[in-house]
Chains A and B, each alone.
Chain A
Amino acid sequence: AQSVTQLGSHVSVSEGALVLLRCNYSSSVPPYLFWYVQYPNQGLQLLLKYTSAATLVKGINGFEAEFKKSETSFHLTKPSAHMSDAAEYFCAVIPRSFNKFYFGSGTKLNVKP
């Protein structure tokens, strides 16, 4: 069965520091991969997605993620955190064999001044 693992339910960084949010998937065939962000009391917003084009995907708000097949990972990064990045981030996959979203459990990012 497909699964998505997000390491760390809470991550705290200082403003200006590197943001690294981890996502690993379990699948022998690389799925489609997504990162969504959820600000408090709002719905989810797509940050970026990987659909088998370039392995380094750039998204909105300065975020990017790199697909690494050998590590079955799709970690989200941003070089310099901003206070406005404080939110919950969800990794999601769609297996190529059938159409269904699987979401990770989420990582809450706290940005300290």
Chain B
Amino acid sequence: QKEVEQNSGPLSVPEGAIASLNCTYSDRGSQSFFWYRQYSGKSPELIMFIYSNGDKEDGRFTAQLNKASQYVSLLIRDSQPSDSATYLCAVTSMDSNYQLIWGAGTKLIIKP
């Protein structure tokens, strides 16, 4: 069974600090990796995707992928109270018939 694991949190980070969110996955054949943000009562919104080993930066967000160790992380620099949300990691591959396999999410709280 293909699985995606995330620490449920809550992860509490002071405003202005770097928030680090981690995700591990079981399927070695995974090809695409996604981070979504979900505010309470709202639908998930895409932050970024990554599919090559290494780092990918978009504004204050950096996704890091290490396929050998089967983990993907999301760093949020200069954390703001508006970043407080649940962050969902999702993974897909041809073996999963392109179905996204979702982690349960990590709740992030940014303290002013």
Q: Does chain A bind chain B?
A: no
The chain B residues found within 8 Å of chain A, CB to CB, are none
